[in-house]
Each structure stands twice: as C-alpha cells, then as structure tokens.
Copies of this chain bind each other. A is one copy, B any other.
Amino acid sequence: MTTASSPIGMPKDMLDTPALLVDLDVMMANVARVASICRRNGVQWRPHIKGQKTIAIARQELAAGAIGITCAKLGEAEVMASAGIRNILIANQIVSPIKVRRLLDLLDRADPIVAVDSIENLHELADAAKARGRRLNVVIEVDVGMKRAGVGPGEPVLALARAIAGRPEIVFRGVMGWESHTVTIADPEQKRLAVAGAIAQLTASADSCRRAGFAVDIVSCGGTGTFPYCAEQPGVTEVQVGGAVFSDMYYRTKFHVDFPCALTVLATVTSRPTPNRIVLDAGKKVMSSDAAMPMPLGLPEISSLRLSAEHMTIELLNPSDRPSIGDRIELIVGYSDTTVHLHDEIVGIRDGKVEAVWPVAARGKSK
C-alpha cells in the first residue's frame, strides 16, 4: 500500500519501505551500452523482459533500437501486447489446449513467435492454428549445451524443420539457443571460446536448414553474461540480453559482467538489538538470495548477512551506534530476475528523487 499522494519529486529516503528502486541514469546508460554493442556488431537486440516485467522499460529499450522483446511466459506476452508491443518472441514451449488457445487469441493484437522443440507440440500448435484459420511463427529451440529444453543441433533441427514445412499453418522463422552453461567462465578468452563453440552449433544448424531450402531469418541467443561474445559470432542475427540493463550482484560476481548495478531495495532499520546487529524490514519476500545475497551499501564492515522471510539480519565486524533505528539502508539486488517479480512497482530515481513509479505489470504472469 503506497501513500495516497504521489511520490513524484519525493527524496528517495522518504519512501515507505521495502521499496524497489532503479537508478534511471545508470539504467539508461546500460540500455544505451547494450544497444551500442549490438549496433557495432550488426546484430539486432530483442531484450528479454522476464526479469523486467515493466512496460516502461520495454519501451525505453525499443526507443534505444530494440526490434521487439523476448518473453518467457505467454502471460508476459499478453501484458506487453496490451501495451501495444507487437514483435514478441516467446522463448519457451507453449503447451496444452488452454495455452494454445490463448496464444492464438494473441495473434489478434501482436505478432508472436514461439519456440518449438518437439513434433508433438508442433502438431498441437498446427492443428489449433488450422482450426482457427491462422498462421503461427515459430523458431526451433536448440540445446547448445545447457541441457534443458531444445532439440540437439544439426540433424534433429533439420528433422523438425522438415516437419514444420509439412504444416502450412506454421511458419519457420529460424533457431534459438541459450548458452547458459558458459556464463560462469571467468576468463574472457575462455568464455569467448566456449560461447563460440556453443553458438557454432546454432549457426551450423541454421546453415543446414538453409541448405535444405528452409529460409532462416532469426538466429537468436545471448544473455547478459555472454551477449558481447554472441554478437561477434558470424550468423547470429539477434541477442536476447535483458538483465544487463539492471545488472546485480549475481551478474557481477558469478557471470563476471561489468555493467554497473541500477537496481536496489530500500529498507528501514527496524531493530538494533546489539551494537553489532542491524535488523532490516526486507527479507526473502522482497529480495531473493538463492542466486546471490543482496549487498547493503554505506555500512561499516560487515561480518555476516542473513535473510529470513521478512528480515535481513546484519552483523557488523565492530560495534557501532550507526545506523540508528529508522535509518534507511539501500541494498544492491542479489539477482534481479528473481527480485523484480516480488514487487508491485519499481520506483525510478534520478538525483536522489522519485521521477517515476512503474507498475510491475507482468508480475505474477507466470502462466
């Protein structure tokens, strides 16, 4: 519940807490940097919005040159389509009669492209599209090494492309892969080599399809931890990088990404039980910690951090009477993708003041 009056113009430390803040200058510089890397490499940018879930940010990315967006969930695509965004890659399999009906409904107001990785799902989509008299765009998801969904590269891709060609209701647009098994490699040259090896499987699969007579206009890959390397690979047409616009502790420490962090949680000190202990009103329900721990800013040296459902407990190395009960503490988000969806809104901050309040419109759109 927010205050009745508008917070626009309010100093950030006056906000009720816990609040999710984004530094607009940092975020916009990150948006510009991603767009610039893409332009320089001659690839398109189709930002993944599963970790952003916010129409205003998608619009900023489109304004910076993104060709469309990538969604994980049909529900996210529905929200974004309702905001007038038409070009949407759903980088996931859409399965079951309810979802396929919703996907076909979406064709009335957007141009979705959906990932397929099985003959069964292809026929489910094609039968439904045929019954509705519609055509549906698909990419083939290729497992380039992460061992989750996707068909194997090469012949399995070709086999699925051939099956698609047998279903006139389905339009084959290309291939998609996610080289997530390479993101944690620390050494840039080793990461470049690993990404090149993974993406070569994707681009070779695209070339096989072309040689077999199937037009391929999309070769999509590239997350925050890898996209500069993906963008360099010949044959890649677009990257999906989304999280870089926020960056976070996870990306910086585990994925070795140097984008500055834009996303923070503002919390209040609610208890100082000992001269070393600080208790905040922000726990796991507003800041995930399973990928990386959020990092409080501006405190004396910390000896331990603990998150429970509703609290963060901080132990200082040395006793201190600061911060006091009621003081605000800002924390860099641990992992943006599993933090943003915990909030109803993102508060945009510039020069320490509230400039915008954006609803997390795709919050809960997990179906």
Contacts and interface: CB of A to CB of B under 8 A. Distances in A.
Interface string A268-306: 111111000101011011101110000000000000000
A367 B18 contact: yes
Given A16-B98, A96-B268, A290-B290, A311 B1 contact: no
Interface residues of A, number: 69
* Interface of A (DSSP majority class): loop
Interface string A63-106: 00000000011010010000000000000111110110010000
Interface of A: 1-3, 14, 16-19, 50-51, 72-73, 75, 78, 92-96, 98-99, 102, 117-118, 120-121, 124, 143, 147-152, 268-273, 277, 279, 281-282, 284-286, 288-290, 308-311, 313, 324-326, 337-338, 341-344, 363-367
Nearest to A120: B325
Q: 8 closest A-B pairs (Cβ-Cβ)?
A: A149-B271, A290-B290, A93-B270, A72-B310, A16-B98, A95-B270, A344-B364, A120-B325
Contacts of A50: 309-310
Contact of A95 (B92, B281, B289, B308): B281
Given A3-B98, A96-B326, A285-B341, 18 more contacts: A18-B367, A50-B309, A92-B270, A92-B310, A95-B270, A95-B281, A148-B273, A148-B279, A148-B313, A149-B311, A284-B288, A284-B290, A310-B366, A341-B342, A342-B342, A342-B364, A343-B366, A344-B364
